[in-house]
């Protein structure tokens, strides 16, 4: 079955003065995929993602996201993508409901759509009793889930998640991944970076970055088979031994 | 413009939920307006004078009383020796030493002229000049009094005499509050408009919510307007509070049109908030923003003509005063509040500050990058 | 850069700010247009005080001139000025001052009165006025009534304060933040030496700053140093040490660099600017502020600097201020030490 390619990069590079953060990476992501970007801190994952989001201009190479050239029309992509940063950027001094409504409004949903979507989200997250609570009073796990929901409030084609599960316990992480599966089922492509190597198992395909380059790209099953190991962590260690760049 | 509506909703909610900011917004103007004009009071009065009366006659006493009853002077000492009095100047206990020569009354009749010696501490040149002016007038007055008493008035003055009559317009009470309070209010509005705006945006940068905004389809001008409008409103609120305090505490009622004041305020706020925006585009941390604003606020504070006159500054300093918006507002405030200046008087101030606003905001918009 | 800029700023302000009144724009309504009025106008124009901006046609225009902003004074000559003067021996000139800034109004009026009196005096050269009380005036310490003698000593105090309080405290707190302070403290070096080592560079920097400011003031502003230079430096060093100990105190009270900066600026520099006496006259302030000004070290330093530089006085006159500064230093050091020890426990 031929599925649409939603992200396509060719020799995508980002250079900062003398430092090449992302070194000629090329890959494709299909619609509905859960695509994982693994790597140590400083490997270039976040930099690569920021280019795909239109937050950072590539130094060279090509990147097409949702059919739009990232280099020439970064603003046009933004209507079709969602983003959740490491800091789960929600407004801490606004309530749960106010955050949802704000982002929905920013993305151009009509008043009726905003109302419907807010109700739906609140139901799904089980936050009916917390809608008037300021986000700063929400526990970390809830904030994460809220941030993710807000990132896809406008049904984007792709959602980019930058280390979304940092700092929470494994149970909450599992719940979070359930939400990701849900979204993928609805046809939203998930592009997620993480340094939790066990999360690689949750992805359809995994890409391992070392020193700004792609050292491996395949399904978790295939990777384990080709490296002859039984978990992704081992795969990673083998690749990382070649790494020259120290982490943060 | 729907996007703008959502942005503004969020901004105003955030501002009014920030207890610290609200407290500052009310406390800072009140405190500044109450304390600063009390400190910046340049009225020359209570001049300490030490009188060395070597004559101790009827007339020398009359003169001493005249000096003391003028209201400008305080008698620190009445010493018999010049050395003692001079030492008082050295110790900063006296500002002026006045010596009445021995045999003053007697010799004035006999020799037709006498000489008072005045030694004046001139380190503060203005205080010395004004103090001397008062004293000199008293001496001349006293002199004329004596002449009237001792000489038969003739119908024609034998000496050509030019009389200078003087009047003080707009501030007949010579109150420094009237001069300072409007200026301090300008300083206040500038601080709030510039500093608070810059810090607010940089804080968002630090938390990461700016990045989240950058990833949405919001246009640059949406974002800029979304910050400009709320802080502009805050500026107007602070200004209004300030005007009320000026009225209630100091009894200052603008002679000119209050509407004109608000017109200029509106234009000025666009420039100052734009300035805050610009600073935020050059800062990554709140500390950086704070340092940058401190640097500029210092300049505005001291070079705006608030405490020292612009006319007396050297040429290079005058150039600086011409390129900072605050000098224009301080001027306009004083013109309208104290003298009742009208629209055509301040039109060119409005135009210049408007132009500054355009430049600053444009620069900020160009500098602000959604994609780095 | 962060360090040099505020210092440069303060020095620049010291040279730009003055409360002298000169270069004021004035207007003249010359109804007489005769020799006498012209001569007086020429005298006015030839001084530094006035710039004759415009000659108005009638007194009705004076209000509008003032309102348009720049004009500070208007002088009106009556219709038959010279005639009145020569035939009736009495003529009147009207001076109208924009008293928005009271001192400007008063001073400019006094200038005009003085110039007119000067002009007047030439008629009376040969006539003896009966019962004349003459005035012999000496303007001490600053005969040209310049602004620099008042401001520059204040600038010196501010620079010292900035360097020694703000920068020292920020630098010490930075070590606290980075954690290197702890390392230094557990090292074999006694804490006293660590603090000393922090302070010495700023002491040196301040002395250099002082020297630069003095050189600039003496050569560019004609400021005198009447007293002993040795005493000047000695007192300055004492004040520097006072500020350093204040910086130390601030550093014990702040846990972040940002906090140290804010505490220095708002807690130290702002009150110093307001209450040291060079920007605003202390004697005019309400009593509570006057009392408060006594705890500002810069106030005492300002007095001693003026006494040494401008009045040429010696220790005999300033021992009280020196003692106060010394006492303050000891007090600050004592407090700092106490806070320091408390933290270590």
Indicate whether C11 belongs to any domain: no
Phi and psi at residue C262, to the nearest 5°: -60, -45
Residue B148 has pLDDT above 60, yes or no: yes
Nearest C-alpha neighbor of A74 from the set B369, B205, B226 = B369
Pick from C15, C139, C285: CB nearest B128: C139
Indicate whether B164 belongs to any domain: no
Residue C117 shares a structural domain with residue C179: no
Indicate whether C275 belongs to any domain: yes
User: Which of A166-175, A187-196, B123-132 bottoms out in mean pLDDT, i.e. has the lowest?
Assistant: A166-175
Residue B120 sits in a domain whose CATH number is 3.40.1710.10
What is the percentage of chain B residues whose pLDDT exceeds 70? 98
pLDDT in tens, C166-184: 888 888 888 877 777 777 7
Indicate whether B372 belongs to any domain: no
Count how many domains chain C has: 2
Residue B319 shares a structural domain with residue B257: yes
- What is the distance in angstroms between the Cα of B360 and the nearest Cα belonging to chain C? 23
pLDDT (mean) for C249-263:
79
Tell me which H or E stretch contains C1: none
Residue B144 shares a structural domain with residue B183: no
Residue C113 shares a structural domain with residue C153: no
pLDDT in tens, A147-162: 999 999 999 999 999 9
Edge-to-edge, what's the strand order for the sheet holding B47-53?
A: B73-79, B47-53, B96-100, B113-121, C132-140
Question: Given pLDDT bands bounded at 50, 70 and 90, which one contains residue B157?
Answer: low
Indicate whether C35 belongs to any domain: yes
User: Which of B338-342, C237-241, C252-256 bottoms out in mean pLDDT, i.e. has the lowest?
Assistant: C252-256
Residue C313 shares a structural domain with residue C175: yes
Residue C82 shares a structural domain with residue C217: no
Cβ pair A89:B3 closer than 8 A:
no
Residue A1 has pLDDT above 80, yes or no: no
Cβ pair C131:B91 closer than 8 A:
no
Residue B352 has pLDDT above 90, yes or no: yes
Residue C9 has pLDDT above 80, yes or no: no
pLDDT (mean) for A57-77:
89
| Confidence (pLDDT) at A64 | 92
Chain C within 8 Å of B20 (Cβ-Cβ)? no
Question: Given pLDDT bands bounded at 50, 70 and 90, which one contains residue C297?
Answer: very high
Edge-to-edge, what's the strand order for the sheet holding A68-69?
A: A19-30, A5-16, A60-65, A68-69
Residue C5 has pLDDT above 80, yes or no: no
What is the percentage of chain B residues whose pLDDT exceeds 90? 53
Residue C179 shares a structural domain with residue C113: no
Residue B326 has pLDDT above 90, yes or no: yes
- The residue among B134, B150, B166 that closes a domain is B150
Residue C25 shares a structural domain with residue C101: yes
B165: three-class secondary structure by DSSP: strand
| Confidence (pLDDT) at B155 | 47
Which residue of chain B comes nearest to C75, CA vs CA?
B166
Q: Take residue A64 and report the two structure tokens written for it.
A: 């097409």
Residue B121 shares a structural domain with residue B264: no
Residue B117 shares a structural domain with residue B222: no
pLDDT (mean) for B280-296:
86
Looking at every residue in chain C, the average pLDDT score rounds to 86
The pTM of this model reads 0.87
Which residue of chain B comes nearest to C37, CA vs CA?
B162
Residue C114 shares a structural domain with residue C230: no
Which residue of chain C comes nearest to B300, CA vs CA?
C13
Residue C100 shares a structural domain with residue C174: no
Residue B137 shares a structural domain with residue B272: no
Residue C98 shares a structural domain with residue C196: no
Residue C175 shares a structural domain with residue C320: yes
Pick from C112, C134, C275: CB nearest B113: C134
Q: Which of residues 139-168 of C touch B (CB under 8 A)?
A: 139-147, 149-150
Indicate whether B161 belongs to any domain: no
Domain, as residue range, for B79 = 47-150
Q: Which of residues 270-329 of C touch B (CB under 8 A)?
A: 274-275, 279-281, 283-286, 289, 303, 306-307, 310-311, 313, 317
Count how many domains chain B has: 2
Indicate whether C140 belongs to any domain: no
| Confidence (pLDDT) at B353 | 96
Cβ pair A93:B3 closer than 8 A:
no
| Confidence (pLDDT) at C97 | 95
Chain B within 8 Å of C122 (Cβ-Cβ)? no
| Confidence (pLDDT) at C2 | 53
Indicate whether C279 belongs to any domain: yes
Indicate whether B294 belongs to any domain: yes
Chain A within 8 Å of B284 (Cβ-Cβ)? no
Residue C172 shares a structural domain with residue C311: yes
Indicate whether C8 belongs to any domain: no
Cβ pair B216:A102 closer than 8 A:
no
Higher pLDDT, C336 or C291: C291
Looking at every residue in chain A, the average pLDDT score rounds to 87
* Contact C/A (≥3 CB pairs under 8 Å): no
Question: Given pLDDT bands bounded at 50, 70 and 90, which one contains residue C6?
Answer: low
Chain C within 8 Å of B317 (Cβ-Cβ)? yes
Residue B242 shares a structural domain with residue B351: yes
Residue B182 shares a structural domain with residue B134: no
Residue B133 shares a structural domain with residue B266: no
Q: Take residue C84 and report the two structure tokens written for it.
A: 């009145």
Which residue of chain A comes nearest to B370, CA vs CA?
A55
pLDDT in tens, C22-65: 899 999 999 988 888 899 999 999 988 899 998 999 999 999 99
Q: Take residue C198 and report the two structure tokens written for it.
A: 């922090």
H helices of chain C, in order, are 4-16, 35-45, 61-67, 81-88, 102-121, 148-161, 168-178, 180-186, 191-220, 229-253, 257-262, 270-275, 287-293, 297-309, 315-344
Residue B215 shares a structural domain with residue B284: yes
Indicate whether B111 belongs to any domain: yes
Residue C25 sits in a domain whose CATH number is 3.40.1710.10
| Confidence (pLDDT) at B335 | 95
Indicate whether B170 belongs to any domain: no
Q: Which residues of A touch B208 (CB under 8 A)?
A: 85-87, 89
Which residue of chain C comes nearest to B38, CA vs CA?
C285
Under DSSP, the state recorded for C131 is T
Domain, as residue range, for C93 = 19-123
Higher pLDDT, A21 or C4: A21
Pick from B10, B209, B217: CB nearest A79: B217
CB pairs under 8 A between A and B: 73
Residue B115 shares a structural domain with residue B233: no
| Confidence (pLDDT) at B257 | 93
- What is the distance in angstroms between the Cα of A116 and the nearest Cα belonging to chain B? 17
The neighbour count for residue A16, using CB atoms within 10 Å, is 11
Is B121 within 8 Å of C50 (Cβ atoms)? no
Q: Which residues of B touch C124 (CB under 8 A)?
A: 159-160
Indicate whether C6 belongs to any domain: no
Indicate whether C70 belongs to any domain: yes
Which of A73-87, B338-352, C150-164 has the highest average model confidence (pLDDT)?
Answer: B338-352
Q: Which of residues 14-43 of C touch B (CB under 8 A)?
A: 15-25
Residue A247 has pLDDT above 60, yes or no: no
DSSP of B73-102, one letter per residue? EEEEEEES-HHHHHHHHHTTS-SEEEEEPT
Chain C within 8 Å of B43 (Cβ-Cβ)? yes
Indicate whether B143 belongs to any domain: yes
Question: Given pLDDT bands bounded at 50, 70 and 90, which one contains residue B208?
Answer: confident
Q: Which residues of B touch A93 (CB under 8 A)?
A: 13-14, 17-18
Residue C247 shares a structural domain with residue C283: yes
Q: How far apart are CA C278 and CA C294, in angstroms?
A: 14
pLDDT in tens, B215-225: 999 988 899 99
- What is the distance in angstroms between the Cα of B264 and the nearest Cα belonging to chain C? 15
Buried b (16+ CB within 10 A) or exposed e, B282-292: ebeebbbbbbb
| Confidence (pLDDT) at C1 | 47
Is C250 within 8 Å of C272 (Cβ atoms)? no
pLDDT in tens, C92-112: 999 999 999 999 999 999 999
| Confidence (pLDDT) at B158 | 67
Residue B91 shares a structural domain with residue B122: yes
Which residue of chain B comes nearest to A153, CA vs CA?
B216
- What is the distance in angstroms between the Cα of B198 and the nearest Cα belonging to chain A? 18
Higher pLDDT, B372 or C331: C331
Residue B33 shares a structural domain with residue B118: no
């Amino acid at each position: 079955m031929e599925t649409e390619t939603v992200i396509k990069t060719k020799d995508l590079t980002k250079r900062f003065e003398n430092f090449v953060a992302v070194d000629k990476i090329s890959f494709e992501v299909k619609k509905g995929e859960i695509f994982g970007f693994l790597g140590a801190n400083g490997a270039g994952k976040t930099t690569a993602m920021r280019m795909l989001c239109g937050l950072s201009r590539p130094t060279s190479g090509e990147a097409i996201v949702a059919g739009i050239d990232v280099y020439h029309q970064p603003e046009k992509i933004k209507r079709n993508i969602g983003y959740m940063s490491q800091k789960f950027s929600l407004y801490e001094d606004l309530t749960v409901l106010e955050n949802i409504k704000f982002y929905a409004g920013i993305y151009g949903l009509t008043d009726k759509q905003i109302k419907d979507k807010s109700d739906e989200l609140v139901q799904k997250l089980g936050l009916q009793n917390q809608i008037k609570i300021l986000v700063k009073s929400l526990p970390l796990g809830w904030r994460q889930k809220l941030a993710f929901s807000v990132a896809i409030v406008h049904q984007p084609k792709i959602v980019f998640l930058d280390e979304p599960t940092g700092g929470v316990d494994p149970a909450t992480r599992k719940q979070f991944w359930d939400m990701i599966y849900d979204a993928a089922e609805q046809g939203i492509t998930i592009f997620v970076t993480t340094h939790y190597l066990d999360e690689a198992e949750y992805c359809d395909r995994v890409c391992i970055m070392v020193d700004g380059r792609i050292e491996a790209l395949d399904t978790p099953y295939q990777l384990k088979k080709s490296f002859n190991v039984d978990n992704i962590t081992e795969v990673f260690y083998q690749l990382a031994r070649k790494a020259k760049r120290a982490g943060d | 413009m729907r996007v703008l509506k959502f942005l503004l909703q969020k901004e105003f909610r955030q501002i009014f939920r920030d207890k610290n900011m609200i407290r500052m917004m009310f406390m800072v103007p009140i405190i500044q307006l109450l304390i600063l004009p009390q400190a910046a009071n340049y009225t020359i009065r209570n001049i300490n004078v030490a009188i060395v009366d070597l004559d101790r006659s009827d007339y020398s006493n009359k003169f001493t009383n005249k000096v003391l009853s003028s209201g400008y002077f305080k008698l620190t000492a009445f010493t018999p020796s010049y050395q003692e009095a001079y030492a008082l100047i050295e110790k900063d206990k006296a500002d002026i030493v006045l010596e009445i020569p021995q045999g003053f009354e007697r010799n004035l009749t006999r020799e037709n002229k006498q000489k008072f010696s005045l030694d004046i501490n001139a380190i503060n040149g203005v205080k010395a000049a004004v103090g001397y002016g008062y004293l000199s007038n008293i001496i001349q007055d006293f002199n004329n009094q004596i002449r009237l008493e001792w000489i038969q008035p003739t119908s024609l003055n034998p000496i050509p005499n030019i009389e200078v009559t003087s009047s003080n317009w707009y501030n007949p009470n010579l109150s420094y509050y009237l001069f300072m309070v409007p200026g301090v209010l300008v300083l206040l509005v500038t601080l709030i408009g510039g500093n608070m705006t810059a810090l607010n945006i940089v804080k968002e940068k630090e938390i990461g919510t700016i990045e989240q905004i950058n990833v949405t389809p919001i246009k640059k001008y949406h974002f800029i307007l979304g910050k400009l409008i709320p802080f502009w409103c805050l500026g107007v609120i602070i200004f209004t509070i300030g005007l009320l305090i000026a009225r209630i505490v100091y009894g200052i009622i603008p002679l000119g049109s209050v509407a004109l004041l608000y017109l200029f305020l509106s234009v000025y706020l666009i420039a100052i908030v734009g300035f805050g925006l610009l600073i935020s585009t050059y800062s990554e941390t709140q500390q950086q923003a704070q340092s940058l604003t401190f640097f500029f606020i210092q300049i505005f504070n001291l070079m705006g003509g608030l405490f020292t006159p612009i006319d007396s500054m050297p040429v290079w300093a005058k150039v600086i005063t011409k390129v900072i918006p605050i000098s224009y507002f301080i001027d306009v405030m004083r013109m309208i509040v104290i003298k009742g200046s009208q629209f055509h008087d301040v039109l060119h101030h409005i135009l210049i500050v408007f132009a500054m606003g355009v430049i600053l905001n444009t620069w900020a918009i160009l500098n602000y990058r959604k994609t780095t | 850069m962060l360090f040099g800029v505020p210092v440069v700023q303060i020095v620049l302000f010291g040279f730009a700010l003055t409360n002298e009144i000169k270069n004021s724009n004035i207007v003249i309504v010359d109804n007489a247009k005769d020799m006498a009025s012209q001569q007086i106008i020429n005298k006015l124009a030839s001084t530094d005080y006035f710039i004759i901006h415009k000659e108005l046609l009638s007194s009705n225009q004076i209000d509008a001139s003032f309102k348009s902003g720049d004009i500070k004074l208007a002088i009106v000559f009556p219709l038959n000025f010279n005639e009145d003067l020569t035939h009736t021996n009495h003529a009147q000139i009207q001076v109208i001052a924009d008293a928005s800034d009271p001192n400007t109004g008063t001073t400019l009026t006094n200038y005009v009165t003085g110039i007119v009196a000067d002009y007047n005096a030439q008629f009376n050269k040969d006539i003896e006025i009966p019962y004349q009380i003459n005035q012999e005036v000496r303007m001490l310490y600053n005969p040209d009534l310049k602004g620099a003698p008042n401001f520059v000593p204040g600038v010196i105090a501010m620079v010292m304060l900035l360097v020694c309080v703000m920068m020292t405290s920020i630098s010490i707190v930075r070590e606290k933040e980075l954690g290197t302070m702890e390392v230094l403290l557990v090292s074999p070096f006694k804490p006293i030496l660590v603090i000393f080592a922090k302070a010495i560079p700023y002491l040196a920097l301040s002395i250099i700053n002082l020297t630069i400011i003095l050189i600039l003031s003496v050569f560019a502003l004609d400021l005198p140093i009447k007293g002993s230079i040795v005493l000047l430096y000695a007192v300055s060093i004492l004040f520097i040490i006072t500020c350093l100990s204040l910086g130390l105190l601030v550093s014990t009270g702040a846990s972040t660099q940002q906090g140290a900066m804010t505490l220095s600026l708002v807690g130290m520099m702002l009150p110093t600017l307001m209450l040291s006496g060079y920007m605003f006259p202390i004697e005019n302030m309400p009593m509570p502020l006057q009392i408060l000004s006594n705890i500002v070290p810069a106030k005492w330093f300002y007095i001693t600097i003026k006494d040494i530089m401008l009045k040429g006085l010696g220790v005999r006159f300033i021992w009280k201020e020196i003692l106060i500064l010394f006492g303050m230093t000891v007090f600050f050091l004592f407090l700092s030490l106490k806070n320091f020890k408390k933290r270590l426990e």
